């Protein structure tokens, strides 16, 4: 349960959440115009970090909407056993606007979490792109009279874990492939690609430093402090010691890989011998 002290709240969205929403939309029942689901994550004073989600079955018509609340509760209980730190932070719906039924569904989630967020994902890309918007509700009206609900937009930022970044980078490669199919790179290829990116970034930094020294670019104190902190974090080690340490780690990695392959071969051989007997 959580409460926002003000409206300066940032919604931090992980890629796996968006992938799950799009997947549930692609697998929706025939005749369904949209899908809805529960958003899970963590909350602090100024941000809501959405790290997981699951779809919730529902039926919707022009006059009414029915949500399988029992399914939503059971799914949340199962998620708590796997990730106890994740709580209900709101709900999502595919589409680019908020409907009258969205208000009714939001009332249900308001009983599960205090002031939940509502996320809309334009999976049909009706605006030409997959617009992703987040809202929080606020009551409006005259006290003692009929009250309404106003949805206030929130800022959405995209964050990711290192493991998610690998998947996102792999998916982005399909944009430049006509077959839309790419294979997973080997460990050596990933190391080479990472080394190339580091080399390119170092070249940019060196060029910036040279431009500042030559007077072509005005020095930025913020960038300078950042570069100084970066340099101070580099361990002071002799090139010979670094090479020896790197070779030792590589030898250890190769040994572990060899033993793993040997174990896998022995297991496979044992399964075949057992099958023959």
pLDDT tens, 100-139? Answer: 888 888 888 888 888 899 999 998 888 788 889 999 888 7
pLDDT at 146: 64
Between 177 and 245, the more confident residue is 245
């982005």: which residue's tokens?
Answer: 172
pLDDT at residue 25, rounded to an integer: 92
The answer to whether residues 167 and 160 touch, using CB atoms and an 8 Å cutoff, is no
- Name 41's bridge partners: 50, 87
Other Cβ atoms closer than 10 A to 87: 18
Structure-block tokens of residue 55: 């779809």
Average pLDDT, rounded, for the chain: 86
Q: Per-residue pLDDT averaged across 19-34, rounded?
A: 88
Instruction: Summarize the confidence of residues 195-223 as an average pLDDT.
Output: 91
The pLDDT assigned to 4 comes to 46
The per-residue pLDDT for range 30-60, each reduced to its tens digit, is 878 889 999 999 988 888 999 999 999 988 8
Query: Pick the residue with more confidence: 264 or 115?
Result: 264
Integer Cα distance of 269 and 262 in angstroms = 11
Would you call 136 exposed, middle or buried from its count of C-beta atoms within 10 A (0-12, 13-18, 19+)? buried
d(CA 79, CA 152): 29
Proportion of the chain above pLDDT 90, given as a percent: 40
Q: Looking at residue 41, what is its pLDDT? A: 93
Percent of the residues in the chain that have a pLDDT greater than 70, as a whole number:
95
Residue 50: its pLDDT value, please? Answer: 94
Between 127 and 81, name the one with better pLDDT: 81
- Give pLDDT, residue 2: 45
How many Cβ atoms from other residues are within 10 Å of residue 144's Cβ?
6
For 11, residues 6+ apart whose C-beta sits below 8 A from its C-beta are 47, 48, 50, 117, 119, 134, 154, 155, 156, 157
pTM over 0.85? The answer is: no
Reported as a single tens digit per residue, the pLDDT across 213-263 is: 999 989 899 998 998 998 888 888 888 888 899 899 989 989 999 999 999
- 74 pLDDT higher than 90: yes
């Amino acid at each position: 349960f959580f409460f926002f002290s003000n409206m300066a709240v940032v919604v931090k969205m992980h890629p796996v959440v968006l992938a799950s929403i799009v997947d549930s939309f692609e697998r929706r029942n025939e005749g369904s115009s949209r899908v809805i689901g529960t958003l899970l994550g963590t909350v602090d004073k100024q941000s809501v970090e959405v790290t997981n989600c699951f779809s919730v079955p529902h039926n919707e018509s022009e006059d009414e909407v029915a949500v399988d609340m029992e399914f939503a509760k059971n799914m949340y209980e199962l998620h708590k056993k796997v990730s106890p730190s994740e709580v209900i932070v709101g709900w999502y719906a595919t589409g680019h606007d908020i409907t009258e039924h969205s208000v009714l569904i939001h009332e249900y989630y308001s009983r599960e979490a205090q002031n939940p967020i509502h996320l809309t994902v334009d999976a049909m890309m009706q605006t030409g792109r997959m617009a992703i918007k987040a809202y929080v509700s606020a009551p409006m009206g005259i006290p003692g009279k009929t009250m309404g609900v106003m949805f206030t937009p929130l800022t959405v930022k995209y964050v990711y874990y290192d493991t998610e970044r690998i998947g996102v980078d792999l998916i982005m490669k399909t944009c430049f492939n006509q077959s839309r199919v790419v294979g997973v790179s080997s460990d050596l290829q990933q190391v080479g690609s990472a080394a190339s990116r580091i080399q390119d970034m170092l070249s940019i930094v060196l060029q910036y430093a040279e431009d500042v020294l030559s007077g072509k670019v005005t020095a930025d104190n913020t960038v300078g402090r950042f570069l100084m902190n970066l340099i101070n974090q580099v361990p002071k080690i002799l090139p010979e010691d670094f090479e020896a340490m790197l070779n030792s780690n590589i030898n250890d990695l190769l040994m572990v890989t060899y033993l793993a392959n040997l174990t896998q071969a022995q297991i496979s051989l044992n399964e075949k011998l057992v099958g023959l007997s």
